[in-house]
Amino acid sequence: MNDKADRIKRMKLPPVDPALAHRLPPGQILTERFPILHEGEVPTYDMDKWTLRIFGEVEAEKQFSYAELMRLPQRKLVTDIHCVTRWSRFDNEFEGIRFRDLLETVQIKPQAKYVMIHADYDYDTNLPLSELLGDNVLLAHKWGGEKLTAKHGWPLRLVVPHLYFWKSAKWIRGIELMSEDRPGFWERNGFHNEADPFKEQRFSGEALPIPEDEWERKEYD
Ligand SMILES: Nc1nc2c(c(=O)[nH]1)N[C@H]1C(S)=C(S)[C@@H](COP(=O)(O)O)O[C@H]1N2
Ligand SMILES: [Mo]
């Protein structure tokens, strides 16, 4: 029956408050919970040994301890996030160091145009440097006023709210400045290189095999 088909369609994409609809990218569903998604294990650290390394196309490589990062200016941000597996969550409060502020502590070579974010375990994701310089790009250690949980990326995660959330690497350990672009983990595995949710830049090609567990939400916090 047509009635039933219509009902199912409505169930699949629940109605969105018209006042908020412009904030929800095409094909996304709003959630109030905070799903947890990643490959591999949640890392544990000895924070006395933990470092964040900035390297590649810089005049001098630099390494930060956690205490040194905490002494940089701390910013708060309230933003919407969008996962390629179709959930979006509005009004997340993150706190941390602005990516731009951190980069100002090193001297970048003029040929540096791209960045590879290196994260545990064996996760990486690539972005044009220009995408990381805005006010809203943070290296976050708090969410909703509390310390980030380990599963959501504590001690430090990237937050790039204007791109699909796989670019927002959890457990980040390295920032590599590059003169040429190079694909990261999901970008090598069929995901779109640019990842703008409002353009639905989900995949790079057609019918690429996506590992099953990416589509499953592991749990919520
Ligand atoms: N280190 C690492 N960061 C990662 C991932 C991962 O597998 N490893 N998954 C990404 C993906 S696909 C998503 S959707 C978000 C999920 O963040 P959340 O678990 O805090 O919701 O983390 C991103 N950051
Ligand atoms: Mo994801």
**pLDDT tens, 156-186?**
999 999 999 999 999 999 999 999 999 999 9
* pLDDT value at 143 more than 60: yes
The chain-wide mean pLDDT, for the chain, equals 90
pLDDT at 209: 52
Q: pLDDT confidence of 15, banded at 50, 70, 90?
A: confident
Q: pLDDT confidence of 17, banded at 50, 70, 90?
A: confident
pTM of the predicted structure, to 2 decimals? 0.90
Asked if residues 76 and 94 have their Cβ atoms less than 8 Å apart, the reply is yes
Atom in ligand 1 nearest the alpha carbon of residue 151: 19
DSSP conformation class of 77: E
Full residue range of the structural domain in which residue 64 is found: 2-220
Q: For residue 220, with 0-12 CB atoms within 10 Å meaning exposed, 13-18 middle and 19 or more buried, which class applies?
A: exposed
Site of tokens 């933003």: 79
H helices of 74-179, where? 99-103
Q: Whose CA is nearest to atom 24 of ligand 1?
A: 169
**Helical (H) or strand (E) element with 124:** strand 123-128
CA 86 distance to own-chain centroid: 14
Q: Of the given ranges (116-125, 149-158, 198-207), which has the lowest mean pLDDT?
A: 198-207
Express each pLDDT in 31-89 by its tens digit: 999 999 998 999 999 999 999 999 999 999 999 999 999 999 999 999 999 999 889 99
In the chain, the number of structural domains is: 1
pLDDT at 51: 98
Express each pLDDT in 89-106 by its tens digit: 999 999 999 999 999 999
pLDDT at 88: 95
More confident residue, 221 or 187: 187
Q: Is the CB of 152 under 6 A from ligand 1?
A: yes
Q: Is the CB of 43 under 6 A from ligand 1?
A: no
Q: Is the CB of 160 under 6 A from ligand 1?
A: no
pLDDT at 162: 98
Q: Is the CB of 126 under 6 A from ligand 1?
A: no
The CATH number covering residue 99 comes to: 3.90.420.10
